[in-house]
Amino acid sequence: MSISSHTGRFSPPTVDAAGRVPLIGLALPEVVTTITANDLPAFRAKQIWHWIYKRGVRNFTDMINLPKDVRVLLAEKYSIERPDAVTSLRSTDGTIKWLLSLSDGQQIETVFIPEAKRGTLCVSSQVGCTLTCKFCHTGTQPLVRNLSAHEILQQIMFARDALDEWPCSGEGKQQPDDVSKLTNIVIMGMGEPLFNYNNIVQALKICMDPDGLAVSKRRITLSTSGIASMIRQCGDDLGVNLAVSLHASTDEIRSKLMPINKKYPLAEVLEACRTYPIASDVRRITFEYIMLRDVNDSDDDAVRLTKLLRGIYSKINIIPFNEWEGSGFECSTEAQIGSFARILENAGYEAPVRRPRGRDIMAACGQLRSASIRART
C-alpha cells in the first residue's frame, strides 16, 4: 500500500457539519493567512493560538482579550470544539477508554493509561486500518479515512479537558500523589500513522511547539507496523521516539500475522531502524512483541530475536495478548512469557513484560468501536 493511496478518497473533511473551518491543527502562519483573509489583523493569530493551546478554551467567547465583534466573527467562520465522547469506560486499574465521535459521525478510540510515575495517552491516526494484522481488532475494520491534524490534536486536547490538565487555565486540579498526569503520548491507537504521514507531522509539530501544546519529543512515541520506506524520514522530520510492531522472529510467521511484512520484510524494517536518526543508548527503539501461544512465543523465537536486534539500540516490550472473541489466538502461558523474557534479558536486552491494562473495558484496540458499530446496525 503506497502513501499516496491513503490520500484522496481517504482524506478527512476540511470543514465541520456547519461549514466552519477548524482552527485547531493549523500552523500559526496558516492561522495568520486565514484570519487576515477575513480582514483581521495578523497579530490576532498569536492571541488565538495562545487561547487554544495554552488555555485550552473551547469557544471563542472565552477569548476575553479579543474585541466582541472579532469573537463573533471567529465563531461564525471557525471551530475550536472538541469531539463528543459517545462512550467513556474506566477500568478498575484506572485506564480510561473513550469512543469519540468526529464532526462527520465517524468514531475513534483514545485511551489514557495512568502508571505510577507517568500517564500515557494512546492516540489514533486513522478511522479503521488497511493492514489486517491478525491479532488486532482494528485490523478487522476496513479503513474509512485518515484523521486530520485537527482530529489528532483534538484527542490530546479532549484528554486534557477530561483530566483537567490545562497548565495555564488556572483551573487545573492538583492530582493526588498516586495518580499520574498526562505526561506521554503514543501514536499507537487505530491506524498506521505512517500511512497518514502529512497529518501526523502537522499535528505533532503543533504538539511539540513550545507555543503549542509543548509536549517534549522525548515524551512522544510513534508506533509503526514497520513501513520501512518512511521510518528514516519520520526521524528526520519529527525526532520522536520510535516503536515498531515486530511480533515474530521469522518472515514466515510475521507475514502470517502481519501481511505488510510481505512488502516490508524483517530485514528491511530492521535496516531502517538501524538508520533511525535519534536512536541512542538513552532513546532506544521499542520493539513490540505480542505473546501468542504456540505461534511466536518459543524459546527459539526469543533466541532468534536476540540475533535479529543485534546492533540496534533496542528495548523489547513483551505484551501478553488481550484475548478477543474470534481472534483465533490465545495468550501465551505465564511460564512461557517468563522464559521468553529471561532469554532476552540474559542476552543483555531490556525486556519488560507489560502488565495487561483495561482488560475489563474491551482493552483490545478497536474493540469498543466495533461494539458501537454493531449496536448501531
192 classed as catalytic: no
Q: Which residues of 240-255 are buried (b: 16+ CB within 10 A; e: fewer)?
A: bbbbbbbbbbeeebbb
Considering CB under 6 A, how many residues would be counted as binding ligand SF4? 13
By CB under 6 A, residue 110 contacts ligand SF4: no
By CB under 6 A, residue 57 contacts ligand SF4: no
365 classed as catalytic: yes
Cα dihedral sign, 325-186-261-230 = positive
Residues 175-214 that bind ligand SF4 (CB under 6 A): 190-192
**Chain-centroid distance, C-alpha 9:** 22
Nearer to ligand SF4 by Cβ, of 142 and 338: the residue is 142
By CB under 6 A, residue 301 contacts ligand SF4: no
Span of 51-59, 124-132, 209-217, 296-304 interacting with ligand SF4 by CB under 6 A: 124-132
Catalytic-role residue among 30, 109, 207, 330: 109
By CB under 6 A, residue 139 contacts ligand SF4: yes
Dist CA 219 CA 224 (whole Å): 16
**Burial class (CB within 10 angstroms; exposed 0-12, middle 13-18, buried 19+) of 96:** buried
Nearer to ligand SF4 by Cβ, of 124 and 180: the residue is 124
Span of 1-9, 85-93, 130-138, 202-210 interacting with ligand SF4 by CB under 6 A: 130-138
Shortest CB 188 distance to ligand SF4, Å: 8
Dist CA 335 CA 86 (whole Å): 39
**Burial class (CB within 10 angstroms; exposed 0-12, middle 13-18, buried 19+) of 359:** middle
By CB under 6 A, residue 133 contacts ligand SF4: yes
By CB under 6 A, residue 225 contacts ligand SF4: yes
Query: Binding string, 237-256, against ligand SF4, x = CB under 6 A?
Result: --------x-----------
Shortest CB 75 distance to ligand SF4, Å: 36
**Burial class (CB within 10 angstroms; exposed 0-12, middle 13-18, buried 19+) of 3:** middle
Shortest CB 266 distance to ligand SF4, Å: 16
Spell out the alpha helix ranges (H) of the chain: 28-36, 43-50, 68-77, 149-163, 197-208, 228-238, 251-257, 266-274, 299-308, 334-346, 367-376
Give residue for cell 530475536: 305
Query: For residues 132 and 359, is the Cβ–Cβ distance under 8 A?
Result: no
At 88 the three-state DSSP class reads strand
Candidate residues 52, 63, 80, 136; the one interacting with ligand SF4 per rule CB under 6 A: 136
Q: What is the DSSP letter of 51?
A: I
Span of 13-21, 131-139, 147-155, 315-323 interacting with ligand SF4 by CB under 6 A: 131-139
By CB under 6 A, residue 138 contacts ligand SF4: yes
Residues annotated catalytic, as ranges = 109, 365
Residues that bind ligand SF4 (CB under 6 A): 129, 131-133, 136, 138-139, 190-192, 225, 245, 365
